[in-house]
Amino acid sequence: MSESARFESGNISISAENMLPIIKKWLYSEKDIFIRELVSNCSDAISKHARLVSMAEAPYDDAPYRITVRVDPNAGTLSFDDNGIGMTADEVRKYINQVAFSGAKEFMEKYKDSEEESQIIGHFGLGFYSAFMCAKRVTIDTLSWQEGAEAVQWSSEGGSEYTLSESTRETRGTCVTIELDDESHEYTDRWAVREVLMKYFRFLPTPIYLEDASQELTTEEHPLNEVAPLWEKNPSDCTEEEYREFYHQVFMDTADPLFWVHLNIDYPFRLKGILYFPKLKNEFESAEGQVKLYCSRVFVADNIREVIPEYLLLLKGCIDCPDLPLNVSRSFLQNDGTVTRLSSHITRKVADRLLGLFKTDREHYNEYWDDINPFIKYACLRDEKFYDRVKPALIFKLLDGSYQTVDEYLTVPECDCGCEHENGECTCGHDHEHCDCGHDHENCECGHHHHDEPRKVVYYATDVNAQAQYISMFRANGIEAVLLQHVLDNHFITLLEHHNPGVKFRRIDSDLSELEKPDETAADAAVEALFSGFAVKAVRTARLAEGGAPAVLVLSEENRRMQEMARMFGGMDEVARMFPEERALVINRAHPLYEKLSALSAQNDDRAALLAAQIYDLARLAQEPFAADDMTAFLERSAKIMELL
């Protein structure tokens, strides 16, 4: 018979000399990939047999499908056994002896017109030869499902020679046994192999059992893997508790996720998965997401930027796409149209989930904002289309803890004096164009802010503790400001300024114009002179509104932004030269200490300089921590001032 395998030897058909050593050394970047390939081949063989049974081309038996991985520390071997389709001698010659010939590809061509899809995940050519990455010898014992087939054994030591002979195998399927080389004996350790199996096959649909030949109890009672991952269920059939439990199990995170996106797509490509929005513990954790990519439930890699946009990698989740091959180069992914559409579709689904939550559950969306805004802002910065899609759901958190959308905040169609408005008029009877104090809308001095045009300046705070004094002054005078406390906000406000021409963002310590009151009295030049020796670009006096400090430091918004960006990306020395830190000291003429300082200065009292230095340090302390020497001087001066009381 042509299929008999009494005994033969020969050369493996390869297209280049010494191909196997190259495969062994360079084909895969991670050594444990060979386990993924061989178990995938087991699953492939089982899928083929199940398909033939469903089409009544192969007889059905009651034996449940299973994959058995066996470690034998004494023999130094690792084996992979399945009860799938098996092979005849001719099939071994065809699929094993011809490197890179894909039996899976031929199988799919034969059954491509069937109603069900084949779900084949292996490519039995090069994938099988990954076994030689760790092997001194590889042996295959296989028995085909076909009636009358004889079991055959194939063996090779990794060169181009092989032997083919009869096998003692009595059950349908294939067993690949690897005699491990001296550098790979860690794969005879049960727990090391278990870890690899859980990494790649936690969700494989075929049960995987692990055996240890050195143990009395050789087979684990239950399969290692979960054969029905949550993403395979219809989203409408999943409970919130199931989503949370799946998250905890996969990502080992004790905190609950905020919410999630369940992907279930059949056209124009097959895609299933769940993406979670995690609760961040700190600012830096936002860069440590994890999106696991699977191919027909076989793990491929974490955080594949060609498939999952970089900014989505701040999330955590599992994506399963059977249309992607297990082994594929990044250059292929970068140039593949399906991958591009896949990436765009995932992005759109995430954006739609955010918009849906914003529209249907605004209260919870506001609660989540502190945790999800770094992701949303980063995505907007990286993807203009994402920004356009989620723009209605971009919100600001205000100083009082309330929330407004960016559009709501930038365009305020009514005054905020507290009156209700109907058809453009206050219900109190006063015209909307004028407040009830009688002043013109454009020059109102009542302290309220009136807007029937887009807001021109947006004040913001970045640190509620360091900027507490400025926040106090803004609140005392009813001036609105938003909280922008993430490291990304420096870039995000630049994006908002770009999309909203005419709107400028000013940190509350960079612009005090709305806190300054008209004052026709002349400034005291002698008082200003007391501060001339301090490290500031300019000194001026102004009458600040209620709650003002004796003096405040004002920073240049543009220069500060440039310096903050330089600190993030490097090049600080050059930026510092081009955009030096420019601070102006504003002395508050409305504060009682100004009158005290003016009187002491007029008397040439030495205490004037002492008081001026203290006022300057108070302004500094409201903006930055002191170095040790500065703090010592400040405390000593404070003691002297108290002694004078």
Q: What is the pLDDT of residues 434-452, one digit of tens each?
A: 444 444 444 444 555 554 5
Does the structure show a pLDDT above 50 at 368? Answer: yes
Q: Which of 258, 5, 303, 27 is nearest to 154 (CA)?
A: 5
- Average pLDDT estimate for 592-597: 89
- Average pLDDT estimate for 76-93: 95
Phi and psi angles of residue 189, each rounded to the nearest 5 degrees, phi first: -85, 125
DSSP 321-345: -TTS-SS--HHHHHH-HHHHHHHHH
Q: Residue 439's CB: how many other CB atoms inside 10 A? A: 13
- Average pLDDT estimate for 626-639: 92
Calculate the CA dihedral of residues 231, 237, 242, 243 and round it to 10 degrees.
Answer: 50
* 56, two tokens: 């009544």
- Going by pLDDT thresholds of 50, 70 and 90, the confidence category of residue 628 is very high
Does the structure show a pLDDT above 50 at 426? Answer: no
Better-scored residue on pLDDT, 434 or 492: 492
Partners of 139 in the β-ladder: 155, 177
Domains and CATH numbers, the chain: 7-212 (3.30.565.10), 230-379 (3.30.230.80), 520-553+580-645 (1.20.120.790)
The rounded distance, in Å, linking the Cα atoms of 481 and 398 is 6
Mean pLDDT of all residues belonging to the chain:
81
pLDDT in tens, 531-585: 888 888 888 888 887 667 898 888 888 777 777 777 666 655 665 566 666 788 8
- Going by pLDDT thresholds of 50, 70 and 90, the confidence category of residue 393 is very high
Does the structure show a pLDDT above 70 at 254? Answer: yes
- Average pLDDT estimate for 86-113: 66
- Average pLDDT estimate for 595-599: 89
- The residues, ordered by sequence, that sit 6+ positions from 345 with a Cβ below 8 Å of its Cβ are 265, 269, 271
Query: Which of the listed ranges 12-21, 29-38, 284-293, 466-475 does the model predict with the highest average pLDDT?
Result: 466-475
The pLDDT of residue 39 is 94
The rounded distance, in Å, linking the Cα atoms of 7 and 73 is 30
The pLDDT of residue 176 is 97
The pLDDT of residue 100 is 40
Does the structure show a pLDDT above 80 at 327? Answer: no
CB distance 204 to 183 below 8 Å: no
Strand pairing category for 152-156 and 135-143: antiparallel
pLDDT in tens, 515-529: 888 776 777 788 888
Secondary structure (3-state) at 210: strand
N-terminal to C-terminal alpha carbon distance within the chain: 115
The pLDDT of residue 355 is 96
Does the structure show a pLDDT above 80 at 454? Answer: no
The rounded distance, in Å, linking the Cα atoms of 345 and 350 is 9
- Going by pLDDT thresholds of 50, 70 and 90, the confidence category of residue 16 is very low
Does the structure show a pLDDT above 50 at 186? Answer: yes
Does the structure show a pLDDT above 90 at 220? Answer: no
The pLDDT of residue 601 is 87
Give alpha helix (H) positions in 489-571.
Answer: 489-499, 525-530, 557-569
- Average pLDDT estimate for 216-238: 84
